[in-house]
C-alpha cells in the first residue's frame, strides 16, 4: 500500500461515486493538465488537512483562487450526484467575499436543496477523505429528500 501525502492509494472512498466525481471535477478545472499524471489520491490530497496543517494556517486570511476552486469542486460534485440520483439538473452557486465568508446554494428547478453559510474558507479541508464523503452524503441525502418532498417545485 502506497500513500500519497495523507491519502492511501487504495482508500475505499476513491472508488465510490463521490470519490470518482471529485476526481472528475478536479481534472475538469485543470486547464493546463498538471494533474494528468497524478493518481486519484494525489488529485484529492489538497482536500485533506490534518489538525497540524490547520493550526499552521492563520485564523484570519483571504482565500486564494485555488482554495475557492476546491470549494466549487466539492459542491459541483454534490450537484452532479444529485442530478444522477433524481434526473433533474442541480445548479450550485458559490458566493464568497474576498475575506472568505459567503454562502453556497444548490438549486434543483426553483427548489433550494442546499443553503449553507461558509466562513474561513481559506481553511477549507477535511481530516480525511471519509469525513469529506460523510459531509457530502449528508448534503446529498437532505437534497434528495427535499426533491422527493417537493417534486413540483424541483420540476419548474
Rounded Cα distance between 86 and 24, Å, is: 20
Q: What is the pLDDT of residues 74-121, one digit of tens each?
A: 999 999 999 999 999 999 999 999 888 999 999 999 999 999 999 989
Rounded Cα distance between 9 and 21, Å, is: 17
Q: Which domains does the chain have, with CATH numbers?
A: 3-154 (1.10.3100.20)
Give 46's DSSP letter. G
Q: What is the pLDDT of residues 40-62, one digit of tens each?
A: 999 999 999 988 888 888 777 78
Cell of 5: 501525502
Query: Which residue, 81, 69, 87, is CA-closest to 114?
Result: 81
Can you point out the beta strands (E) in 2-155?
Answer: 3-4, 7-8, 90-96, 102-108, 111-118
Q: What is the pLDDT of residues 120-152, one digit of tens each?
A: 898 899 999 999 999 999 999 999 999 999 999
- The pTM for the full model equals 0.91
Q: What percent of the chain has pLDDT over 70?
A: 97
H-helix or E-strand containing 27?
Answer: helix 17-28
Half-sphere exposure of 7 (CA within 13 A, CB side): 26
Amino acid at each position: 500500500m502506497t500513500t500519497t501525502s495523507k491519502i492511501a492509494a487504495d482508500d475505499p472512498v476513491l472508488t465510490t461515486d463521490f470519490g470518482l466525481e471529485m476526481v472528475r471535477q478536479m481534472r475538469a478545472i485543470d486547464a493546463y493538465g498538471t494533474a494528468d499524471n497524478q493518481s486519484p489520491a494525489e488529485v484529492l490530497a489538497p482536500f485533506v488537512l490534518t489538525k497540524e496543517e490547520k493550526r499552521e494556517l492563520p485564523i484570519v486570511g483571504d482565500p486564494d483562487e485555488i482554495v475557492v476552486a476546491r470549494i466549487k469542486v466539492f459542491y459541483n460534485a454534490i450537484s452532479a450526484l444529485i442530478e444522477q440520483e433524481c434526473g433533474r439538473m442541480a445548479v450550485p452557486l458559490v458566493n464568497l467575499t474576498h475575506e472568505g465568508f459567503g454562502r453556497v446554494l444548490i438549486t434543483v428547478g426553483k427548489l433550494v436543496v442546499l443553503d449553507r453559510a461558509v466562513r474561513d474558507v481559506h481553511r477549507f479541508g477535511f481530516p480525511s477523505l471519509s469525513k469529506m464523503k460523510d459531509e457530502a452524503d449528508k448534503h446529498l441525502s437532505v437534497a434528495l429528500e427535499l426533491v422527493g418532498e417537493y417534486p413540483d417545485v424541483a420540476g419548474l
